Structure 1
Amino acid sequence: MEPRDATGDVLGNTATGDAIGDVPVGYSVAGYRISGLIGAGAWGRVYAGCSEADGSRVAVKVLPPGRLTPGQRRTLAELTRREIRFSRRADHPQLIRTLAVVTLRDPGRPALDGAVALVMERAERSLQQLLQDAEPGRPLPRAGPMLAELCTGLAHMHGRGWVHGDLKPGNVLLMADGGVRLADFGLTTELEGTHAYVPPLGSLDHVPPEWWSQRSGPRGIQLRPGADVWAFGVLAHQMLTGGLHPFLGATARARGLAAQAYARGVTPLRLDERLPAGWRALIADCLAVDQAVRPEAGRLAARLWALQSPPPRRWNRIGRLVTVALLAAAPAAGWAGLPGRVSPPPPAAPVAGALPPDADVPTALREPIDRAARACPEPEISPAFLAALLKAESGFDPAAARPETQEYGIAMWTPSVFKAWAQDGDGDGRKDYMSAPDAIITMGNYVCWLDQQLKRRGTGGDLHGLVAAGYRTSDKTVADAGGVPERVRPHVDLVLRYLAQYGG
């Protein structure tokens, strides 16, 4: 009888080649064939694999059932339940996607029989590997945009009522397209009021000071979302300084002790002196001793995106375009071009899909449209495409409303859908679908995800049209239809007509 998972799906176990760890090369897990070991941790192993259907690359995390003490088995079972529960609900471009969760049934291999396997998106490498190769004192390439993307994913988690609980370089993955994903949800848990409860585990040099003072009760250690913000501050310092930790120490425990000394007021906070002022302030806010005053992830993400934007410009009295900011003195080597420290810019390269100057897009909307497009790595999500979507949806009317379908604002958001994806686009600390910047930045994030989903599903057709259809319906509806559903064809044609007018 063929092995099956808990839902009855055949798992298959034909293996060829030598064993790598516990899972042999060629072993098949839920339609994905193992090709080698990527890495191992205290609780499980991660293997490289590929789809037997289309050859797409995946990572398979295997959590073994045996060779553990009773206490370890209980902890592993709890971590597994947490990871599965969150992975099945996670749905955001900056969160690693879990494609399948199965229980292996293979009596012929006792080391695998009963193991849980999670099939996930496969990354190129981890941030930890990137930091190991970095030059101390120099920021990582694209450090600013990567931090902004990462914080956007963290804000989404917090907005949905989850705390990650183990944010560190090893749990930040770098994808082939240059994007970042937050991964490893074994300590991720839902908030109960203001707190969440996690096992007394985690990276000692990324946990906040309150972690050390909390007693572990029957349900674990109490944490708030501010614990993730503290860890993000440590991570930001590392990314902007080539791996330097804000608290000195030769080991993780020593760095944790240094953080405790800072929290008690014994030592001051000493951030790397090469950090630009804007980044120093942001990291210092994340590392506030009082977790109640640490910024919320949503507000932090808005500040991060603002640091990516060029300084505001205006025309002076004699008609020349000038930058309304004082240019800093010549930047230290390695910092030129990093957001937060302004240096005289080279001639700007044309942006793909940029809006032509004479387009009928209101001036006030151009900046958030451009910012939303730049935040997405997918080439289809250009300023011209977002403008075409907005014109088709509302005619650029921030007060547009269709009460009969519960759609409101310039991007015609349904409030419940907006809440799941909401971002603060204007930096006022609120997320309002009737705010044009909020609605536009959120639209950019959502259609970026739609684009990626439709590519993953292999849905054929023009991606601009497919994404426009998905925005009106859903990615599943478009995939099930095998293209643009007929009922939204007139709307999609309108979007494509506007896109052509804007030069997209």
Structure 2
Amino acid sequence: MTAPSHAGRHRIEQLIGVGGFASVYLARDEKLRSSVAVKILADNWARQADVRNRFIQEARLLRQADSHLLVQVFDIGELDDGRPYFVMTYADRGTLGDRLAGPPLPLAETLALMGEICQGVAVLHSIGVVHRDLKPSNVLFCSRPEGGERVMVADLGIARSADHLSGLTLPAGSPGYQAPEQLYFDGAPDARADVHGLGALTYHLLTGRVPAKPSDRVPPSALRPEVTEAVDAAVMRALDPEREGRFEDATAYAAALSSRTGVLPDGGPGTTRKKEPPRAVLPSAGQPGAGRQDAGPPGEGDPPEDSSGQGGPSGGGPGGERKSGFSGRRALVVGGTVVVAAAVTAVVITMARTGDIPEPTTTTPAGGTSASTSPVGDDTRRWLRADSDIPGEYRALIVNAGTYCDQPGLSPALIAAMLKAESGFDPKLSDTTNDEYGIARWTPSVLWHWQPGGLQGREPKPPFTPEVSILSMGRFMCTLGPQIKSLPGDPALKLAALYRSGVDPLKRAKGIPARWRPYTAKVAGYLRGYQPA
């Protein structure tokens, strides 16, 4: 599309950046007699409400932060053709990416620069925003009136604010800089994902190289001997593959980077280590951004949370003998520390693309229950038998969970059969003895991992809504199902046993464990009755 001549009162002068979702133009504000940058959403995306809303959200987040350490937003509006735009600071001195093309900066200058970048990211963290795409092209420079320059963090196109972090999160970020959890569908990255990005930027500035994969990575001093042991320690901790090993946020990392030791004292900020289960890794969807100034995407649909190898909500349930303590879908407690039942550090989900798991959108199905649905539409008879006892108000939710991904054995009929076996479709089920609640018999501490948004959201407290309970079943199956795909047995019944026992018990039994066969037999009976004729 032809470049506009004006954006409001701002006269467009030239194109300075192009991304997949938006273009950035140098413009002139005649009234204030100053140069500005104008970011305009591409025409093909401007017609999509969700993308348009995220574009506007980016402007709002930048305006909310309103810091000279970030690109600042001065105005927002629409072109005559309806495309939204916003006006922001013009970075007349280019990007950090431009400077990385030259010789390495002196060590002291690198650390000072990283301190400023950390301060900008810390502003975002202070208002509950996670950037999620820290990379050289998103660090900009502009002239100061009094001389010199200032650093600005840019492009919040895929940033997430606290009030959106509980939403579904697709993989995001840029290869080499993104934290490992950003490869996960529903990785729910927090401030520690940005710490990884900051560590990667520091590493690149110090060594001239993007960090290698963890197994091949060496400390910066191995490539640049003048780097001190303290800086080595701070950078390598920021790049820890497990996010609980990193500093808590940008402020803590900056403090360690500038400290004499590079490590904060025990008990100080950044020393908290939250034990979390490892997760299933999806193929990276991150693409390097294009354009000189903040022309990145306005975001994506916001990703399953936990590939710990844990099973379903408890170690018991209909058709099976219960165990005391944590088991099945619960974590195993040893010496006061939460230990994942199956020691899986990273499991690749064998999906051809991230699109294999649809992003739910909010609709209202028949019966008036707000449900997250994707391929459901208004008619569920394609997936579920119409004359069955499946309650009408849950059918859309069940179809959504059962079509959450292309996992062998997963189907709406299976989800319905399991709900029947778990609770008889009772949304008010309360089994306080086993700490299980709701229509899918989730234990609160485990549902926390599998709920939309995962651990980034609040720990759920009973009663659990059917919306959360049922959708979380689909996310559970799509994450852990691939780990048992090669085991012998009916694919659907293996998933039912997985929900009750976990990955390791199925692997040890080389199929469905004997103690769960009565439960899977019950599920099989319901399954036959729920499949469409």
TM bin (shorter chain): 0.3 to 0.5
Higher relative contact order structure (alpha carbons within 8 Å, sequence separation ≥ 6): 2
Superposition TM-score, scaled by structure 1 size: 0.47
Superposition TM-score, scaled by structure 2 size: 0.44
